Amino acid sequence: MLVRVLGAAAGGGFPQWNCSCRNCRKLREGTFAGHPRSQTQLAVSADGLAWFLINASPDLRFQIEAFPPLHPRSNSPRDSPIHGVVLTSAEVDASLGLLLLRESQPLIVYATEGVKRVLVEDNSFFGVLRRQADQARWRPVTPGEPFGLETIEGLPTGIHCMPVATDATYPGYVTPERSSSLPEAQASIGLFFEHQGNKLAFLPGSPTVDDEWIKQIETCDAILFDGTFWSDDELIRIQGTGRTARQMGHMPVGGPDGSLERFSGLEGPRKIFIHINNTNPMLDESSDEHRQVTAAGWELARDGMELEI
Amino acid sequence: MLVRVLGAAAGGGFPQWNCSCRNCRKLREGTFAGHPRSQTQLAVSADGLAWFLINASPDLRFQIEAFPPLHPRSNSPRDSPIHGVVLTSAEVDASLGLLLLRESQPLIVYATEGVKRVLVEDNSFFGVLRRQADQARWRPVTPGEPFGLETIEGLPTGIHCMPVATDATYPGYVTPERSSSLPEAQASIGLFFEHQGNKLAFLPGSPTVDDEWIKQIETCDAILFDGTFWSDDELIRIQGTGRTARQMGHMPVGGPDGSLERFSGLEGPRKIFIHINNTNPMLDESSDEHRQVTAAGWELARDGMELEI
């Protein structure tokens, strides 16, 4: 299975439009020891012909143009090698890009019922995906129940997904009343992909790590894990207000309960942080935090990174 | 008044993600006699310090990064020289970018009540602009009633806007039932800007041109007019189905009733087409259509174009 990282930043991207934290400021000045990143987005394919997007970032138009295998072939005026999208949540940075996949193109969308309801029932914008009958073909995903990715023609690709529920809640834009009407375990999922016996874990947002996941991850070839924040109070210190990393659904990388510590015994898979917030000090390749991460055997995902699983 | 064209394409941009029409195909091949364009977006400023966005395109994150005067200053961790946004409609390509201006930044949004209701009442995504009390400060705009652009601190900028109703309807994603509950004249507006006696007309989407507008436009220094389609059946010929240009709210450029003909007597202002669809043959600078446009004294807006009005 081919895995292309089209974007590796958290919501807002790096740099973020209204941010002049040390990282964003130095990046714009051209003095930053590191790289810009667009918002987290994967594309996967079993054969290099039929592609599936994992999440749908707000930067998707530019991410598609930057990766020629996702361009339309020239044998039809309207066409795309993108057959479907798998959503892990209804967060704006994970789902807004669906609205960029308009223009009457048929598309399979794999999402939990909870995520679909938040998007489609609560946002009339999604009418742009109903311009043609059978344009967006929603397929319900249930945590714990594996499913196979199929082409728009209904052919199996050989890629299998196992969705797992995370402890993250519905996004901040969903009111508490609305959230309470939706299945709690469907708010946010992680994905274990399998193709021809090879495995990839994609867990871009999770405040906790289940012991059962650790066992699953040990059998994977690679893991792309939540690298949003270094510390639990990172945004509060910069903004002066707000929620902790864990309250926002993210396990911090550093600290005694962080992911470096939690995964310290992990031997098998290639370990890669993704969904990295613009404020995270580990983005700076001259920082102590970056040294800690690499010393622990982790890599940072970057736009354009490719894995073959 | 400084006017920066951050984007000049119609919805979907040029190239468009799923399009392999002649223009998109040749552009991707590197053999096109013309230029890529992101989705239509203006930024205006009276003093070069306080900026206002005219519409909010889905490409806004990249458009802001490409224009350093819109970057945050470095004296505060979260900051922006963008004080407000003026919306001409609730079309996805004109309004989706509002959701990219999240991250707790205060912002004035000038829009008709009808446009505000379609966006905010019908799309829970807009909760991202309510993270802080008084974050998005909506100011009602009524066609025919002029208003002044004010900074977030409430100071006048000296820029005045006269909104005018167009004949365009609410966007295709708004159901007929919902549309019928909204003020018809508030679906889509054009804007006449005035600063220190100088004037700019911005009419990016209109199926017809009022005689009264022609009089107003004659007094302008420049006009940015709807250049979406060359011919009324342009999309139908490419897609095999769909609506005419006029049904989509756009006067075609060519033909006996097109804008070249309609504005043929216009002498005063600099004449510029904007909101140009990827399929429009006039994008090809080697085409007959491009020659007709330039022979008639019109220019095509491009990303990065600047006007001083």
> CB–CB of B20 and A128 under 8 A?
no
The whole-chain average pLDDT of chain B stands at: 96
Per-residue pLDDT, A156: 98
| Cβ contact, residue pair B80, A17, below 8 Å | yes
Nearest-CA distance A106 → chain B (Å): 10
Is the pLDDT at B47 greater than 80? The verdict is yes
User: Does the CB of A281 have a partner CB in chain B at under 8 Å?
Assistant: no
pTM higher than the cut 0.90: yes
CB-based contact (8 Å) between A65 and chain B?
Answer: yes
Burial class (CB within 10 angstroms; exposed 0-12, middle 13-18, buried 19+) of B187? buried
Interface test with B, best of A60, A125, A182 (most B CBs within 10 A): A125
Q: Does A43 score more than 90 pLDDT?
A: yes
> Residue B49's pLDDT is what?
96
pLDDT for position A76:
76
Q: What residues does A30 pair with on adjacent strands?
A: none
pLDDT at residue A240, as a whole number: 79
At A257-294, the pLDDT tens digits run 899 999 999 999 999 999 999 999 999 999 999 999 99
Give the per-residue pLDDT at A241: 79
Distance CA A254, CA A232 (A): 9
- The string of pLDDT tens digits covering residues A57-89 is 999 999 999 999 999 987 777 889 999 999 999
Distance CA B69, CA B83 (A): 13
Out of A17, A77, A118, whose CB is closest to B19?
A77
Contact status, residue A187 vs residue A107, Cβ threshold 8 Å = no
User: Would an 8 Å CB–CB cutoff place A35 in contact with chain B?
Assistant: no
Exposure class string for B37-66: b at 16+ Cβ within 10 A, else e: bbbbbbbbbbeeebbbbbbbbbbbbbbbbe
Amino acid B74: pLDDT:
74
Are residues B73 and A13, on separate chains, in Cβ contact within 8 Å? no
* Chain A residues within an 8 Å CB radius of B28: 68, 71
Asked if residue A178 has pLDDT above 80, the reply is yes
Q: What are phi and psi of B301, to 5 degrees?
A: -65, 145
Residue B56 confidence (pLDDT) above 90: yes
Which of A124, A132, A135, A182 best probes binding to B when mutated, by most B CB atoms within 10 angstroms? A124
Return the pLDDT at B78.
Answer: 81
Query: Nearest by CB to A72, which of B20, B75, B130?
Result: B20
- How far apart (Å, rounded) are the C-alpha atoms in residues A284 and A37? 12
Q: Does residue A210 register a pLDDT over 90? A: no
**Mean pLDDT across the stretch B231-252?**
89
Give me the phi and psi of B13, to 5 degrees please: 75, 180
d(CA A187, nearest CA chain B) in Å: 15
Lowest model confidence (mean pLDDT) among A248-252, A281-285, B159-163: A248-252
Whether B76 and A20 lie within 8 Å, measured CB to CB: yes
**Which chain A residues are closer than 8 Å to B73 by Cβ?**
20
Give A94-112 pLDDT, tens digit per residue.
999 999 999 889 999 999 9
Q: Do A19 and B78 touch (CB under 8 A)?
A: yes
Q: Which chain B residue lies closest to A127 (C-alpha atoms)?
A: B173
Residues of chain B with C-beta less than 8 angstroms from the C-beta of A130: 173
Of B175, B210, B215, B174, nearest to B190 by C-alpha is B210
Name the percent of chain B in helix, strand, coil, to the closest 5.
25, 25, 50
Q: Does the interface predicted TM-score (ipTM) exceed 0.90?
A: yes
Please indicate whether, in this complex, the C-beta atoms of A24 and B103 are within 8 angstroms of each other. Answer: no
> Is the pLDDT at A187 greater than 80, yes or no?
yes
Which residues fall within 8 angstroms of residue B124, CB to CB, at 6 or more apart? A118, A122, A123, A173, A174, A175, A178
Query: If contacts are CB pairs under 8 Å, which of residues 135-174 in chain A contact chain B?
Result: 172-174
Helix (H/G/I), strand (E/B), else coil: B23: helix
Per-residue pLDDT at A36 exceeds 90: yes
Q: Which of A169-178, A208-217, B83-92, B174-183 has the lowest mean pLDDT?
A: A208-217
Which residues does chain A have within 8 Å of residue B71's beta carbon, measured at their own beta carbons? Answer: 20, 28
The pLDDT, as a whole number, for residue A278 is 97
pLDDT at A74: 74
Amino acid identity of residue B66, one-letter, is A
The Cβ of residue A287 has, within 10 Å, a number of other Cβ atoms equal to 18
Adjacent-strand bridge partners of B70: none
Residue B197 Cα, gap to closest chain A Cα (Å) = 33
Reported as a pLDDT band with limits 50, 70 and 90, residue B132 is confident
B64 at the A interface (CB within 8 A)?
yes
Mark which residues 201-240 of A lie under 8 Å from B by CB. Answer: 238-239
pLDDT at B156 over 90: yes
What is the rounded average pLDDT of the residues A183-191? 97
Q: Which amino acid is at A134?
A: D
A-B interface: how many C-beta pairs under 8 angstroms?
A: 159
Q: Measuring CA to CA, which residue among B191, B51, B181, B178 is closest to residue B111? A: B191
Residue B73 has pLDDT above 90, yes or no: no
Hey, of B28, B63, B125, which one would you mutate to test binding to chain A, going by the most A CBs within 10 A of its CB?
B125
Out of B60, B61, B71, name the one closest to residue A28 (CB): B71
Task: Provide the mean pLDDT of chain A.
Answer: 96
| Residue A130 DSSP one-character state | G
B210 alpha carbon, distance to own chain's centre:
19
What is the distance between the alpha carbons of residues A225 and B119, in angstroms, rounded to a whole number?
34
Question: What does the pLDDT average to over B178-193?
Answer: 97
Residues in B touching A41 (Cβ below 8 Å): none
- pLDDT of B278 reads 97
Q: Chain A residues with CB inside 8 Å of B20's CB?
A: 71-79
Residue range B104-113, pLDDT digits in tens: 899 999 999 9
Report yes or no: B81 at the A interface, CB cutoff 8 Å: no
What is the C-alpha separation between B228 and A258, in angstroms, rounded?
52
